[in-house]
């Protein structure tokens, strides 16, 4: 039986590239989506499940994990990819903007990890990949302070997963890419110029690589920057 991965935000952009890569490598996928029709682009209906998932809904994680286990009987990996970015700093943005980023970028991954962890432990080689950012490693002028805060929190959460479930073979990685050429940064002033950005397919390859490693080759963080910076 193929290994089973849960992937949030798998309908477009980086998530779609990750889904396409994993399906091509024989994985079965449970995709948490707001638009279930997005799952049809990957083919393999026997190996791709679409489950309604709203990252802001406190009950969505429980329902999604239950649906995946009912369909496939196991969970081998969780890829927390869904995320949003709004400009929130000390002069711009609102409390609601900050709360929305916290809900999607931090609380939703936390809930999913908590629900999926018992199933990941059972496999003896469960994997959690949290799509963080170089903004999880430092603050750079022009970046959304709120976004950077949430990605720092996601990095800390990754470390907590490693501590909590290491003895059961669960390994967790915070994948910290620089600018990826997706809609997330399409209108961000000061972002890495388009020709210099990572492609979604490149980052999907990193996810594939991390999932292929044995327990003895644990990678706590994988940073792939698009610019030279002394701090990372």
Mark out the alpha helices in the chain (DSSP H runs). Answer: 13-24, 60-72, 95-102, 108-123, 145-165, 200-212
CA distance 14 to 25: 17
Domain borders along the chain are 4-224
Q: Render pLDDT for 141-167 as a digit per residue (tens, 0 to 9).
A: 989 999 999 999 999 999 999 999 999
pLDDT in tens, 79-88: 999 999 999 9
Residues involved in catalysis? 147
Specify the pTM: 0.95
Query: How many Å apart are CA 99 and CA 1, to the nearest integer?
Result: 40
State the Cα torsion 104-107-109-114 to the nearest 10°.
-160
Q: Does the domain made of 4-224 have the CATH classification 3.90.1150.10?
A: no
């Amino acid at each position: 039986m193929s290994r089973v991965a849960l992937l949030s935000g798998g309908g477009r952009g980086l998530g779609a590239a990750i889904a396409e890569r994993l399906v091509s490598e024989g994985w079965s996928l449970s995709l948490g989506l707001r638009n279930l029709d997005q799952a049809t682009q990957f083919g393999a209906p026997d190996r791709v499940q679409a489950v309604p998932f709203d990252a802001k809904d406190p009950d969505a994680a429980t329902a999604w994990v239950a649906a995946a286990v009912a369909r496939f009987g196991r969970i081998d990996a969780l890829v927390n990819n869904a995320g949003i970015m709004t400009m929130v700093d000390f002069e711009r943005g609102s409390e609601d903007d900050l709360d929305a980023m916290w809900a999607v970028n931090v609380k939703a991954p936390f809930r999913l990890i908590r629900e999926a962890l018992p199933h990941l432990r059972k496999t003896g080689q469960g994997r959690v990949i949290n799509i963080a950012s170089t903004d999880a490693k430092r603050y750079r002028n022009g970046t959304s302070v709120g976004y950077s805060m949430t990605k720092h929190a996601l990095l800390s959460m990754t470390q907590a997963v490693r501590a909590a479930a290491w003895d059961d073979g669960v390994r967790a990685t915070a994948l910290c890419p620089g600018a990826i050429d997706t809609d997330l940064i399409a209108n961000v002033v000061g972002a890495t110029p388009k020709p210099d950005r990572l492609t979604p397919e490149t980052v999907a390859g990193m996810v594939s690589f991390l999932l292929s490693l044995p327990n003895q080759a644990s990678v706590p963080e994988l940073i792939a920057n698009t610019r030279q910076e002394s701090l990372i």
